[in-house]
Amino acid sequence: MEEDGPDTKKWEDLDIDILVKIFQTFDIFELTSGIARVCSTWRYAACDPLLWRTLDLSMLKSNFIKIPLEPYVYVDGRSDKTLTRVLKIALNLSHGNISTLIFHFNLYVSDDQFTYTAERCPRLKRLVLPAWNRIKRSAICKAISMWQDLESLTMPSISNPPCIMEEISRNCKKFSELKIMGPCDMFFAHTLTNSLPNLKVLSLRCSMLFKDALLIILEGLKHLEVLNISHCILIEVPPPPAPRKVLKELDESILEKACGIRELLTCMDELCVMCRRTRLDEGLMRWYRYEEGLWKEDEAKSLAI
């Protein structure tokens, strides 16, 4: 084997900026595969803040089965180990520089994993939450209390909205964007307008949306600039004994209250694939049935992933 000549560069002599640019093309598995252990130069490059503005874990999803008792899912141990390993390495390399954190919709994160992540992402501005059957409300509230710079949140449907909304109201003074992937009823609408009256962007796409709840949102969120209700099932509940009905278009009472919104994004087309899927799933989209990554989309550009 020929020995290296005097002009041969070693891996550790490669320019840091070039290494960072190469590493920017890596996904989360490649970034956490051990490149930081090659040499001190590679570790220095692997810790560059440019690599860690966003921690995108949307490639990771859990192998799970539904169970009848709390937490209602059983997650395969290998899934948990993979997530723990990736989190530890990524959060160690990031040195607290992560401003956007994205979990896969079907990633079942534990309390310990979630709290561990929150403690090491103090500058977080945007959060895309996973399904949270395994995360207790206390853990979510504790995490939110650490994220005082949080501006944007995407989350599954909320079983206890006051707990989360009030925590955001107390701690996240810059908060302005919210996406809920689940039904919107009167209780949720009242909680939202009472806790987050300064909200500017709201997406409820592909959900069951009650007309009265929509009217409360339109009236209560005075600073709302963008509202996405595309592909929603819009339900009107008249006084009894009249049955509730599905609206096929926005009526005058809605349009009048929405006149001050810069962007009202809506689609109620019977031929639209997404509208049909929302109806099929009864307003609670089962994203695992459809194309991978479809849950990331949003007509409100700032909320698309």
Q: What is the pLDDT along the chain (305 residues), one digit of tens a residue?
A: 445 555 666 666 778 899 999 999 999 999 999 999 988 889 999 999 999 999 999 998 877 677 777 666 667 778 889 999 999 999 999 999 999 999 998 888 989 999 999 999 999 999 999 877 778 888 999 999 999 999 999 998 766 678 889 999 999 999 999 999 988 899 999 999 999 999 999 999 999 999 999 999 999 999 999 999 999 999 999 888 889 999 999 999 999 999 999 999 999 999 999 999 999 999 989 888 899 999 999 999 999 99
What pLDDT does residue 10 have? Answer: 66
Cα–Cα distance list, 212 to 9, 250, 254, 257, 285 (Å): 69, 12, 9, 12, 21
CA distances, 218 to each of 56, 197, 257 (Å) = 33, 11, 6
Q: Do you find a cis peptide bond into 240, omega within 30 degrees of 0?
A: no
What span, in angstroms and rounded, lies between the C-alpha atoms of 218 and 229? 12
Report the pLDDT value the prediction gives residue 71, as an integer from 0 to 100. 65
Q: What is the pTM of this model?
A: 0.89
